[in-house]
Structure 1
């Protein structure tokens, strides 16, 4: 059987159902294609990746995530629509936290077991000592595929609120990580590959605003110098 196994599940992590164990392990199979691209980055979805601007459709070593949020609904927060893709013989992960140097992080893990089958976990990271423990957070509409070492997945995280005193319930520091799968489907140590400053996940441009501002400033300086040179000539 081809190792590019495709899986779809729609579930509630905190409830037990056929194929869902108490720690949230999922192994439902379905023939649904998972295809993640950069289309819409900075326009309709917030994208984070390492290396910078890498192509998730085929570039080796590209660890990529995109996030789209629904409109805030107090006090329920927002739903996060997440895409995640990367190379790993174990797992890839997206982390969200109020402060990456204290407290905890929500971690969403897309993984493959020894047979190359896809499975999903939600976890919590201790930001002080980098330890990770499994949780039973509600996650829905999970779709995943494995092809060799390339893992791709999509999922929805409902009712998310940032635990901060900011004006945005959608402001989180984010990180991308990889790790090993142990004993078939256990989650090994987490290795963070990229950490971003706090970003407003509801704003697709929030992680490119600085670069955009710098570009505009440079253009303004060039125009000003041109005017001065014209007047001095």
Structure 2
């Protein structure tokens, strides 16, 4: 990949949120965005951005595009925190840029709202239905949510689910089926972790270190044969 010799071009991402989402008021808030080049032997960091607020409407985010002779796949990680608790589902977002300036819309998934994209077979008539299900991996009968759409409205939408029924750290699966002929339909994201794991082990380690450092420090030179 060659660096652009002159002015750096810009990639602009329009982050969107569901209209029913409301950001918590007050408290300590933070939004964090990280951009890396994904299609390289090792990830190349492009931009890290932090802002002491959170959003309940869409906002624009830009980062530089340094390459001129090859398509670049960027991996974007975005998270919003309220009182150190994440508000968004953990997902990787990808933007492929061949020429810049480039602009693209990304739909973020707050906890309780999962943005779903469906690739329906062309054979489905507009009035015929597809069913989208969010369930345990490998167990479609254990559903968190199920919706039915016609071919037109199933292209992309927010699927709502009850966050209280989600187990932290567990992965769930999306599946789609065309109702008339029972054909499987590709749905993204396929597997998704809907709630973060509480890092209790890290917290316990921090407490142990803190407790240990409060004790008198015993150096190896306290032994009988000291180094002089």
Q: TM-score, normalised by structure 2?
A: 0.29
Q: Which has the higher contact order (CA 8 A, sep 6+)?
A: 1
Larger Rg: 2
Q: TM-score, normalised by structure 1?
A: 0.29
